[in-house]
Amino acid sequence: VQLVESGGGLVQTGGSLRLSCAASGFTFAEWAISWFRQAPGKEREGVSCFSSSGTTYYSDSGKGRFTISSDNAKTTLYLEMNSLQPEDTAVYYCAVRSWFDCLPNYDPQVDEYDYWGQGTQVTVSS
């Protein structure tokens, strides 16, 4: 299983970025891929989830500003981030688990995911 994130960078407050997660090498019949982020000195937190059934979920940190989607083949996952704030500065990771669906009112949890990408840095300047 390989997950490769890209699209991070430096952006000003209020700006936008589109992150990509290229996924390959897994043949789970059902799966969920989530975006997480980790700011310096903080724990990794779940931001958004996308499942093989098309279910999506956003934590409070991303709700209303972030949009998760995939290409038609569901081999690349995207996270469109708008109205970025300095507190969004973090390394963003995508991760996959082999059981499906994104649960309502339930932030993705680090220990539930089996495979991780290397991360991409997002820096929002004030």
What is the residue-level pLDDT of the chain in tens, covering all 126 positions? 999 999 999 999 999 999 999 999 988 888 999 999 999 999 999 999 999 999 999 999 999 999 999 998 888 999 999 999 999 999 999 999 997 789 889 999 999 999 999 999 999 999
Other beta carbons less than 10 A from residue 113's beta carbon: 20
Other beta carbons less than 10 A from residue 14's beta carbon: 10
| Identity of residue 125 | S
d(CA 10, CA 13): 10
d(CA 92, CA 122): 7
CA angle 119–31–20, rounded 5-degree value: 30
pLDDT at residue 100, as a whole number: 76
pLDDT at residue 114, as a whole number: 93
pLDDT at residue 73, as a whole number: 85
pLDDT at residue 74, as a whole number: 84
pLDDT at residue 94, as a whole number: 98
Sequence-ordered list of residues with C-beta below 8 angstroms from that of 57, at least 6 positions apart, any chain: 48, 49, 102, 103, 104, 106, 107, 108
pLDDT at residue 70, as a whole number: 94
Q: Is residue 83 within 8 Å of 61, Cβ to Cβ?
A: no
pLDDT at residue 99, as a whole number: 79
